[in-house]
Amino acid sequence: MEKTATTAVVDFVFDAALDAFPADVVAEGKRCVIDGIAVILAGSSSPASAILHRQVRAAGGTADATVLGADTFSAPAALAARANALSGHALDFDDTQLSRWPDRIFGLLTHPTIPPLSASLALGERLGATGASLLESFLTGFEVECKIAEAIHPQHYKQGFHTSGTIGALGAATASAKMLGLDETQTRMAIGIAASLASGIRAGFGTMTKPLHVGRAAENGIIAAELASMGFTADANALDGQWGFFQVTAGGFDADKIIGCLGTPHSIVDPGVSIKPYPCGSLSHPSADAMLGLVVDNDVKPEQINKIRVRAGSNILNPLRYGVARNELEAKFSLPFVMSAIALRRRAGIEEFHDDFVLSGAVQEMMKKVETVRDPEIEAKGTDRMRSVIEIHLQDGRRLERAADVYRGGPERPFTRAELHGKFSDCAKGVLSEERMRGALEVLERLESVESVQVLVDALTPPAAARR
């Protein structure tokens, strides 16, 4: 009998073991966990997180997992995972999966870390699991999530699904199945349940609903695995067939991109993962780095700029749809804003993505000078990379130009350990003291040898925080 995609996933999850993962996979997994925890801490103070925290507190229930942040508290594992995962995506600062095939739209791929990490962290704390178990579950869910995203037809994203919400739920479900020690039948049911729960539409981009997709992905993954552990049933091949996830949400998938491919190689190292240098849509990052290089290398002052042109393909211009951003959420999907922030401050960091800066007169005026243009030549090169060309037209008649498709944080220019720790510190500074940051990083760097997930949670929790 021909092997189904669902069976391939179940077999991989059931057989996955940390000591069998290649050393580079484990090392990169720890880097992704460090980055994931960092952006959860940074996003925990966002307006969206504040609202969700109130809702989770009001829901009550068994306090068996920690919601991270300056005002930390405990909640049922599924709700804690929802809150932490929303925080992790609230600033659009979490990592991005890459593609090996030029016919795959970059946006089709996921923000792979936050759903399986948030689910594994919440369940791991509740179960008293080891750091090794956390890392094993995370890497298992990460690989499944990435391979499903690589295999599904691009129509999934084109017609409006937000992959980090839809496929993220399957990554969280398989991570949860691994953490809970489900057998093969239960794992199959967990996948089936998660496939029906998975949702998220791109209409939410630029609003609080976008990170809620990721929060719900982590929560739904735990719910699916918990129900499966209790005997709850679902279709045994829910990814496949006429009414399965692939066909219903995308019109199909490429079997040769998932069957026989899980773990050979692991997507986390081949083609790799992109750790974000900017807290906004990753499609703007090569353009941002190119703009920064032009401004710094030529010492361009804001008052010298007459016009900025960004030439790109529709894979970049369509999702980054806001011309003149009116708030910080729209700014995360606005090339004119990112270009303007760099022109004015030579940076586009956490501090720039606030309403007061977005709405300032200088930014609003600079955004009007930015023109985005669909370039047919760039379009023809494919959608697997984030290609663009930046032009700065100066008042004195000069035109500065730079092509972009590589940026800091990607496999071609990966963050150094110091840069990764620097991002962690920048993200955590509103939650942890410098001493606590150093302690948390020490625990994260030796995660596979940490005796209990609780040790990690304690390191990430401000000592004066009251647990309620």
Is there a single domain that holds both residue 137 and residue 19?
Answer: yes
Contact (Cβ atoms closer than 8 angstroms) between residue 304 and residue 295: no
Which value, to the nearest 10 degrees, does the dihedral of the CA atoms of residues 222, 228, 233, 235 take? 70
Quote the number of domains for the chain: 2
Q: Is residue 439 part of a domain?
A: no
Which pLDDT score, from 0 to 100, does residue 468 have?
42
Classify burial at 399, counting beta carbons within 10 Å of its beta carbon; exposed 0-12, middle 13-18, buried 19 or more.
exposed
Which pLDDT score, from 0 to 100, does residue 276 have?
94
* Residue appearing with tokens 């090169």: 381
Q: 274, 297, 318 — which closes off a domain?
A: 274
Is there a single domain that holds both residue 55 and residue 90?
Answer: yes
Contact (Cβ atoms closer than 8 angstroms) between residue 348 and residue 339: no
In Å, what is the CA distance from 164 to each residue of 89, 121, 150?
10, 18, 13
> Would you call 311 helix, strand, or coil by DSSP?
strand
- CATH code for the domain of 291: 3.30.1330.120
E strand or H helix at 400, and its extent?
strand 399-404
> Would you call 403 helix, strand, or coil by DSSP?
strand
Is there a single domain that holds both residue 125 and residue 91?
Answer: yes
Q: Is residue 448 part of a domain?
A: no
228 CB contacts (<8 Å, ≥6 apart)? 177, 182, 186, 187, 189, 190, 193, 234
Which pLDDT score, from 0 to 100, does residue 432 have?
96
**Alpha-carbon distance 323 to 333, whole Å?**
9
Q: Is residue 147 part of a domain?
A: yes
- CATH code for the domain of 226: 1.10.4100.10
Q: 361, 379, 404 — which closes off a domain?
A: 404
Is there a single domain that holds both residue 262 and residue 355?
Answer: no
Q: Is residue 193 part of a domain?
A: yes
Give the structural domain span for 64: 5-274
Is there a single domain that holds both residue 229 and residue 348?
Answer: no
Q: Is residue 436 part of a domain?
A: no
**Alpha-carbon distance 414 to 393, whole Å?**
31
Q: Is residue 467 part of a domain?
A: no
Question: Is the Cα dihedral 77, 80, 82, 85 positive or negative?
Answer: negative
Is there a single domain that holds both residue 298 and residue 230?
Answer: no
Q: DSSP strand E in 262-361: where?
A: 273-274, 305-312
Among 4, 221, 190, residue whose Cα is nearest residue 112: 221
96-97 and 273-274 beta bridge pairing: antiparallel
**Alpha-carbon distance 463 to 439, whole Å?**
12
pLDDT digits (tens, 9 = 90+) for 145-157: 999 999 999 999 9
Is there a single domain that holds both residue 189 and residue 306?
Answer: no
Is there a single domain that holds both residue 189 and residue 253?
Answer: yes
Residue 75 phi/psi, 5-degree rounding, is: -155, 170
Is there a single domain that holds both residue 317 and residue 203?
Answer: no
Is there a single domain that holds both residue 289 and residue 379?
Answer: yes
Q: Is residue 461 part of a domain?
A: no
Q: Is residue 453 part of a domain?
A: no
Is there a single domain that holds both residue 65 and residue 104?
Answer: yes
Is there a single domain that holds both residue 299 and residue 214?
Answer: no
Q: 404, 439, 463 — which closes off a domain?
A: 404
Mean pLDDT, each 10-residue run in order, the chain (468 residues): 91 97 98 98 96 97 96 96 98 90 72 98 98 98 97 94 97 98 98 98 93 98 98 98 97 96 96 92 92 98 98 92 92 96 96 95 98 95 86 97 90 92 95 96 98 97 62
